[in-house]
Structure 1
């Protein structure tokens, strides 16, 4: 009996409580024994009857403490296990996302590099040209390097199409220039009617659309050279009694990069200005990703 109590008292969780309980048991037993006879048989009966309920109480105490300790340890193990799983999942997701976005960025940059290389092979605006601006100064391709510019070929006597396109260009320029996240855009107008469009006529004409417009004209050969560089078609129609005529020409806006390379074109009159603006901004951002 004493060995069992000793065993129960060895538990660190119940040692104090068991010790106090057992001390009380032996104190009570000693008092009870004072009135017993000295018969061994009687002592054994008293021991059994006295210690049985108290021993059961001690065992229940030990069992309850052990159960609580086991449950607490199990909960701690389960919590640690769950935390470990969450950490593994988090690391996996972070690694996967990193690899995915790195691959996506690399693929996107490769596509931009491929397109940039293709555009450099396109010979639109690639060859040099020489024209005269609205102030009488000679302008060549080198004068426009380092700036984004939007270029349009037309003529000042155009009844409707050219004014509509230049109005659209002016709106595009205003919207682009108001956005500080992208570079400013220079509007350029090239006349395909050198016979009637002198620098003075060009200056008055383009000033009605936007103050930043650069108007270009020149001799017939100079205009032909510039039109050929940009693959622009133009042809003068028959003259009427007043010697007036209409010129048929390509209706295209060319977007040129600061390196002087062709980037994009907008040739459909039905395309809204908003879509052209978004396209230009995206081309500018793509260019900045590649060239800084």
Structure 2
């Protein structure tokens, strides 16, 4: 046909149906189905299943689970003993340690006591061998009463020690009973002065190994006696225990006497 004979609607309309409607069906609907729905199924739902649920399972639940060392620590803590049992075990250990310490202390004390006792017995044996003051004497005191060594035996009392000081002269020619009575008053009321004949005094001096030698007399008949100056400590058994010279102080002598009296062991 001629172009002028063609109806415009016949051209426009088919084009509208072939292009516009077709395009709407081929592009828009198809695009909606191929892109929008597909995208929604491929991206949105898939993303929701691949990321969100997976993330929830991989990250969120994983955060709630413990690592192996944490699980080991949890099991270790769960296996801790009961606090009451732990305290009981601690008290038991302390009690055992205390008993062991007391046992060792008692053993040390026993061994030390036995050692000290052996030392005292050895000293007694040595004193016996020394043979100092083992004999007896018979002298007159400052009141004129006859005294022997047996009069002073067995007089120690650990609670109330009656220390008895005794003075024996080495110059019986000038130190008679009356002279001794005046002499002892200048020292102590309990001091007992002893004198006797020259033979009796020399015998006592030899028994205690005391040296005494009178010097030459002057024009007036006076003389000086050179002699040993010692203080002897004698036990209640009459055994010589110790001696003190002028180098010992009063406190040293007192401490020594008290120590001997404290550790005194009566001989059987």
Same fold at TM > 0.5: yes
Which residue does 2:151 correspond to in 1?
Answer: 143
Aligned mates of 2:160, 2:263 — CA distance in 1? 11
Distance in 2 (CA, whole Å) between partners of 1:185 and 1:137 is 20
> How far, CA to CA, are the matches of 1:286 and 1:251 in structure 2?
26
Residue in 1 that maps onto 2:233:
255
Q: Is the 8 A contact 2:237 2:266 kept in 1?
A: no
Distance 2:132 2:266 in 1: 21
1:98 aligns with one of 93, 99, 106: 106
How far residue 105 of structure 1 moved from its aligned partner, in angstroms, is: 1.5
Match in the other structure for 1:117: 125
Deviation at 1:236, TM superposition (A): 0.5
Query: Displacement of 1:91 after TM fit?
Result: 2.0
Q: Within 5 Å, which residues of 2 pair with 1:1-292?
A: 70=78, 73-147=81-155, 181-267=159-245, 269-287=246-264, 289=265
TM-score by length of 1: 0.61
User: How many residues are matched?
Assistant: 198
| Unaligned 5+ runs, structure 2 | 1-63, 65-73
Deviation at residue 119 of structure 1 after TM alignment? 2.1
For 1:142 and 1:80, locate their aligned partners in 2 and report how far apart those are by CA, in whole Å: 66
Contact 2:232 2:244 in 1 (8 A): yes
Whole-angstrom distance in 1 between the partners of 2:257 and 2:124: 15
| TM-score of the two chains, using structure 2 as the length reference | 0.66
**Distance in 2 of aligned mates of 1:189 and 1:259:** 19
Residue 279 of structure 1, CA deviation: 0.3
Query: Which stretch of the first structure deviates more once superposed, 127-136 or 214-223?
Result: 127-136
Give deviations 1:97-146, integer Å, cap 9, x for gaps.
12111111221222222222322333111112221111222222112212
Higher relative contact order (CA 8 A, sep 6+): 1
Mapped to 1, the partners of 2:173 and 2:249 lie a distance apart of: 33
Larger radius of gyration: 2
**Contact 2:141 2:195 survives alignment (8 Å):** yes
Q: Distance in 1 between matches of 2:255 and 2:206?
A: 28
Q: Is the 8 A contact 2:142 2:194 kept in 1?
A: yes
Change (3 A) 1:99 1:242: same
Gaps of 5+ in 1: 1-55, 57-65, 149-176
Contact in 1 for aligned 2:139/2:194 (Cα 8 Å):
yes
Name the residue aligned to 1:160: none
Which consecutive aligned stretches of 4+ in structure 1 deviate over 3 angstroms post-superposition? 69-74, 289-292
Instruction: State the superposition RMSD in angstroms.
Output: 2.9
Do the aligned partners of 2:165 and 2:192 also contact (CA within 8 Å) in 1? yes
- Displacement of 1:70 in angstroms is 4.4
More divergent stretch after superposition (121-130 vs 230-239): 121-130
